[in-house]
Amino acid sequence: MNLKEHFSKFFEHDPDRLHFAAHSHHPWPDVTFEAHRLYWEDSAGLADDKWDHIFNHVLPETRQLVAGALSLPDPNTLTFAPNTHDFLVRIFSCLEPPVRILSTGSEFHSFARQSRRWEEAGLAIVDRIDTEPFDDFEERFLRNVASGAHDLIYVSSVFYDSGYPVAGMADLVAAAPNDTTFFVIDGYHQFMARPIDLSTVADRAFFVAGGYKYAMGGEGACFLHCPPGYGERPVDTGWYAGFGQLESGVGDDVPFASDGSRFAGATYDPSGVYRLRAVLGWLESSGIDAGAIHNHVLPLQEQFLDSEPGLGELVPGRGSDRGNFLTFRNPDAMTRYRSLHDRGVITDYRGNRLRIGFGIYHEPEDVTRLIDIVKSIT
């Protein structure tokens, strides 16, 4: 699968740059350039009428593509927002504080920071389960899920600080004994990186992800799958959640739809949704799904690991299942990152973990170049 030519506009700005941070700011394929321009043209041509076009065409078409990628039975359970944090606080607003939360010590900053602030304010009590050792993580987490002691369960399907994938997510969802418990899957590091099938949990679990990382659509295009019957009237709500009632006026009660739009917020720049629609449409028409992307990445990861890069401890270890990036635990992670950056290699680090991501625009010769540069700094 040679797709680098489809990223020509991105790479022509710096042809010598090696971008190995596909888990962060992914390069944008050329179709996003045209999609971004199309949004401008729709805004100029339709003016105020563009919102009817967006709500009646752009959003439904994008929902259909996202639902297909997730094996969701009903695209209408999906809604969009500019970031996942909007969804997080909207879900939280459905619950009575103090909210008892079960999560992990490896959640991304949007949840980790907000949940700690809720604790400081006395609005939540959070039980965080360590993801390491990985060998028994799912067993340990499942026991806590099965206790029935929590109002909200929030867990990533692939952890951002290691790439470790949760294999038994459906079992975790099924283990929640109370139907009233909200179960939220953060799938940002899995969406369009590894296959996802939500068909068996669609009626029970929320799923949140977006276009900034592996979906290659850039910022401003996050989405939430909302299981029917959960969070029917969020306290944190915006006028998009009542878009269909604008012309009928305001009654005594704030109206909500029963589909995913009940978790919609307020006005945002929809250009990200245009880009996400373009990327997912391009991939679908090319016969490329998340499984094909993951299968393209795996041999590139092995090629890099075979070189014994000397970047630190691989987390999880060699032979483990993982996402589309490699994580190396090293007290000098920041120094390694900067040394690579100075040589035109884009990676990233979080604390003592250096992350190197692989994407569909990479070829074996790119990995060979990466190996040569890594050897020069280790």
Q: Is the domain of 173 the same as that of 219?
A: yes
Give the residue-averaged pLDDT of 64-73. Answer: 98
* CATH at 325: 3.90.1150.10
Give the residue-averaged pLDDT of 119-140. Answer: 98
Which of the two residues, 69 and 25, has the higher pLDDT score? 69
Q: Is the pLDDT at 179 greater than 60, yes or no?
A: yes
Residue 251, pLDDT score: 60
Q: How many domains does the chain have?
A: 2
Q: Is the pLDDT at 33 greater than 70, yes or no?
A: yes
| Residue ending a domain, choose from 284, 302, 324 | 284
pTM confidence score: 0.96
Q: Is the domain of 56 the same as that of 192?
A: yes
Share of the chain above pLDDT 70, in %: 97
Give the tokens for residue 300: 């590139």
Q: Which of 183, 159, 80 is nearest to 324 (CA)?
A: 159
Q: Is the pLDDT at 64 greater than 80, yes or no?
A: yes
Give the residue-averaged pLDDT of 351-369. Answer: 96
Give the tokens for residue 152: 């909200």
Q: Is the domain of 16 the same as that of 68?
A: no
Q: Is the domain of 157 the same as that of 303?
A: no
Q: Is the pLDDT at 273 greater than 80, yes or no?
A: yes
Q: Is the pLDDT at 342 greater than 60, yes or no?
A: yes
Instruction: Write the CA distances from 242 to 28, 34, 236, 255, 274, integer angstroms.
Output: 33, 31, 13, 6, 22
Residue 274, pLDDT score: 98
Residue 247, pLDDT score: 44
Residue 253, pLDDT score: 84
Instruction: State pLDDT tens for residues 212-268.
Output: 999 999 999 999 999 999 999 999 999 999 866 544 455 668 999 899 999 999 999
Mean pLDDT, the chain, rounded, equals 95
Give the tokens for residue 233: 């009237």
Residue 156's domain comprises 34-284
Q: Is the domain of 40 the same as that of 169?
A: yes
- Is residue 309 within 8 A of residue 337, CB to CB? The reply is no
| Residue ending a domain, choose from 284, 317, 335 | 284
Residue 351, pLDDT score: 92
Distance between CA 87 and CA 90 in Å, rounded? 5
Q: Is the domain of 280 the same as that of 292?
A: no
| Helix, strand, coil percent content, the chain, rounded in steps of 5 | 40, 15, 45
Instruction: State pLDDT tens for residues 311-335.
Output: 999 999 999 999 999 999 999 999 9
| Residue ending a domain, choose from 242, 263, 284 | 284
Residue 248, pLDDT score: 46
Lowest mean pLDDT, pick from 21-30, 197-206, 335-344: 21-30
- Is residue 137 within 8 A of residue 156, CB to CB? The reply is no
The upper half-sphere exposure of residue 217, i.e. CA atoms within 13 Å in the direction of its Cβ, equals 30
Q: Is the domain of 83 the same as that of 166?
A: yes
* CATH at 52: 3.40.640.10
Q: Is the domain of 187 the same as that of 168?
A: yes
Residue 281, pLDDT score: 98
Helix (H) or strand (E) holding 43: helix 31-46
Q: Is the domain of 199 the same as that of 346?
A: no
